[in-house]
Amino acid sequence: MSRELLQNVRMLDPVSKIDRTTDILITENQITAIQENITEIPADTEVRDCRGLILGPGLTDIYSHSGEPGFEERETLESLMQAAAAGGFTRVAILPDTSPPVDNLAGLALLQQHIRNLSPGLPRLYFWGALTAGVKGQQMAELGELASSAVVGFADGLPLSNPALVRRLLEYIQPLNKSVALWPCDRALAENGAAREGAVSVRLGLPGIPASAETSALAAILELVASGGTPVHIMRVSTARSVELIRDAKARGLPVQASVTWMHLLLNVGAISGNAKDSGGGKNALTASFAYDPNLHLEPPLGTRSDQLALIQAVKDGVIDAIAIDHNAHTYEEKTVAFADSPPGAIGLELALPLLWHGLVETGEFSALELWQVLSTGPAICLGQTPAAVALGVPAELILFDPLMSWTVEGHSLKSRSANTPWLGQQLAGKVLQTWV
């Protein structure tokens, strides 16, 4: 029988709002004892001194991209799941923009077949079904068929430019009892932009994307929710004005949830300039190495410093329910081009927890429980799932995190097949030591 005793570990459980140091006994992957000092230790128990370490529920990523099938040179399901485990994620929901896309039962069955052939003990993968055929935003996908399957909900992961189609989609999905995630972005306003419109984009000579490209689309979505009543999850919130709109919608009782990607909390458009002053001061001194880094070409673009501060506050206030990783692998060749010509997106499953811990918890912006809430409990609730918890008698869905362990972000140190991150070559503190799934 397998037994592990974690002594003097800092236990975080956002479900029960507990943050304390204790001993925890895990027997056959189940939590069998939680108490301050376990003295009766069964034979054949592996005893570990965990002073300074943190034990919390496994993290949940509400949306990320898989390269497989179709773009295996970027990422495979195996490498994505290994990266997730290395970063402390025990549940990951995949967007449907694979090739072929998950817009029918055959596409979903193909992914499920891939999973069955993977190594055991990896995180659990969930799949979003496409809203539109081929994720092209033109006509509805086979929503009824997909709703009867194992999809967690519906999302294209791309903007929908036709409000009439969005309205029909919401009307059709309402009785299906599935989540709907929409990314508010007006492509006509965004045009070929690559950075948030403003002084920094002008100085850098990068085509700008106005904040109104997001907020005008968001306002339209919220009007449709108000008129039809279908619950909607707002993806990739990136502007202070969007926060105001969502705050007002929630105050009016509209059934909306929202998420922000992790990099939009840590960085702003000033990082692209490599100027710490543009980024808001010394807290972002690392940005000196980020100048014109194509790995900072994201969708939506990094916001202003005011946007960043508003997003942080919105997460603390509960206006934004979850932090998403939006892990999006690209090859070295794809990203080694001019900033505006590079495909948007960056990896993040292995990096998010240590960088968020040191960027938000150690700076006093968040408490440890607040961070775990929006990385574990909040995302699970948004997916309609029961959150993982640290409690007696439940299966161990846990991670053990060392916030001080130093490591260097290099291609060979990452489980992901790609290394498109602005932190490549940087030395970080914080590493997940073990994941129980």
Per-residue pLDDT in tens (0 to 9) along the chain, 437 residues: 789 999 999 999 999 999 999 999 999 999 999 999 998 899 899 999 999 999 999 999 999 999 999 999 999 999 999 999 999 999 999 999 999 999 999 999 989 888 888 877 899 999 999 999 999 999 999 999 999 998 999 999 999 999 999 999 999 999 999 999 999 999 999 999 999 999 999 999 999 999 999 999 999 999 999 999 999 999 999 999 999 999 999 999 999 999 999 999 999 999 998 865 566 644 444 555 688 999 999 999 999 999 999 999 999 999 999 999 999 999 999 999 999 999 999 999 999 999 999 999 999 999 999 999 999 999 999 999 999 999 998 899 999 999 999 999 999 999 999 999 999 999 999 999 999 98
pLDDT (0 to 100) of residue 56: 98
Q: What is the pLDDT of residues 156-205, one digit of tens each?
A: 999 999 999 999 999 999 999 999 999 999 999 999 999 999 999 999 99
Angle 156-158-161 from CA coordinates, rounded to 5°: 105
Beta strands in 28-176 (DSSP E): 30-35, 45-49, 54-57, 59-64, 89-94, 124-129, 153-154
CA dihedral defined by 116, 103, 242, 238, rounded to 10 degrees? Answer: 50
Query: CB neighbours of 83 closer than 8 A, spacing ≥ 6?
Result: 327, 347, 349, 350, 414, 415, 416
Residue 263: predicted pLDDT: 98
Pick the closest to residue 266 from 317, 215, 302, 314 (CA basis): 302
Measure the CA angle with vertex 46, ends 41 and 49; round to 5°.
Answer: 90
pLDDT of 277 reads: 58
pLDDT score recorded for residue 307: 98
Q: Give me the helix-helix angle, 77-86 and 105-116, nearest 10°.
A: 60
pLDDT digits (tens, 9 = 90+) for 101-158: 999 999 999 898 888 888 778 999 999 999 999 999 999 999 999 999 989 999 999 9
- Cα atoms found within 13 Å of the Cα of residue 409, Cβ hemisphere only: 24
Active site residue ranges:
326
How far apart are the C-alpha atoms of 67 and 78, rounded to whole Å?
10
- Is the CB of residue 56 less than 8 Å from the CB of residue 11? yes
The secondary structure of 85-97 as a DSSP string is: HHTTEEEEEE-S-
pLDDT, position 276: 53
Instruction: Look at residue 287 in the predicted model and tell me its pLDDT.
Output: 54
Q: Which residues of 367-380 are buried (b: 16+ CB within 10 A; e: fewer)?
A: ebbbbbbbbbbbbb
Q: Return the pLDDT at 286.
A: 53
With tokens 């939506």, the residue in question is: 300
| Sheet with 89-94, side-by-side order of all strands | 59-64, 89-94, 124-129, 153-154, 179-182, 232-234, 256-261, 322-324
Provide the CB-side half-sphere exposure for 407 (13 A, CA).
19
3-state secondary structure of 127: strand
Euclidean distance between CA atoms 272 and 289, whole angstroms:
9
Residue 217 tokens read as 């689309």
Rounded Cα distance, 134 and 111, in Å: 16
